[in-house]
């Protein structure tokens, strides 16, 4: 499971010209699910995401997490993160989870996140989404478990 996390001042997801998820300050998380992933891996990754210290403290150092700041989390499924780009000029998706498995784990992680945080927004699994963000920093990290 891979998560591309971006610290944002604000972010939103639009599907069919309607906002389906949005947050102010917090993290935009693009989530890629691989066929080897399960709920235990999702739990481990979510714990890392919500506790990852990417927000500045009073001295300007990255010492605070979503848990400390009360920021929002916007979770968006993105199967292309599971691509193998090592060979050739076309990505291979052989390590990506099948849609049914990926959607189940995405929904699971979303439910777990909503139990941990006060503000959680989401995209729509497998939809054509338009993601808008104002990256704060920019600060972007790839997390894998």
Distance CA 25, CA 92 (A): 34
- Cα 86 to Cα 89, 93, 99, 124: the distances in Å are 9, 12, 23, 29
Q: Is-catalytic flag, 100? A: no
Q: Which of 17, 79, 85, 125 is catalytic?
A: 79
Catalytic residue among 6, 25, 55, 78: 78
d(CA 145, CA 143): 7
- Give the active site residue among 80, 85, 93, 141: 80
d(CA 81, CA 92): 11
State yes or no: is 78 an active-site residue: yes
Distance from C-alpha of 88 to C-alpha of 12, rounded to nearest angstrom: 34
Residue 140: active-site member:
no
Q: Which distant-in-sequence residues (6+ apart) come within 8 Å of 37 by Cβ?
A: 1, 97, 101, 105
Active-site residues, by number, are 78-80
């Amino acid at each position: 499971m891979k998560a591309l996390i971006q610290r944002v001042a604000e972010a939103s997801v639009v599907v069919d010209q309607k906002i389906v998820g949005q947050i102010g300050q917090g993290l935009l998380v693009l989530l890629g699910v691989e066929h080897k992933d399960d709920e235990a891996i999702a739990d481990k990754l979510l714990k890392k995401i919500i506790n990852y210290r990417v927000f500045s403290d009073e001295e300007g150092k990255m010492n605070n997490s979503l848990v400390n700041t009360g920021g929002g989390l916007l979770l968006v499924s993105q199967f292309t993160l599971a691509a193998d780009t090592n060979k050739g000029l076309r990505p291979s998706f052989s390590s990506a989870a099948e849609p049914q498995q990926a959607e189940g784990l995405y929904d699971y992680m979303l439910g777990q996140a909503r139990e941990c945080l006060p503000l959680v927004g989401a995209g729509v699994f497998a939809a054509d989404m338009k993601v808008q963000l104002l990256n704060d920093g920019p600060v972007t990290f790839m997390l894998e478990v």
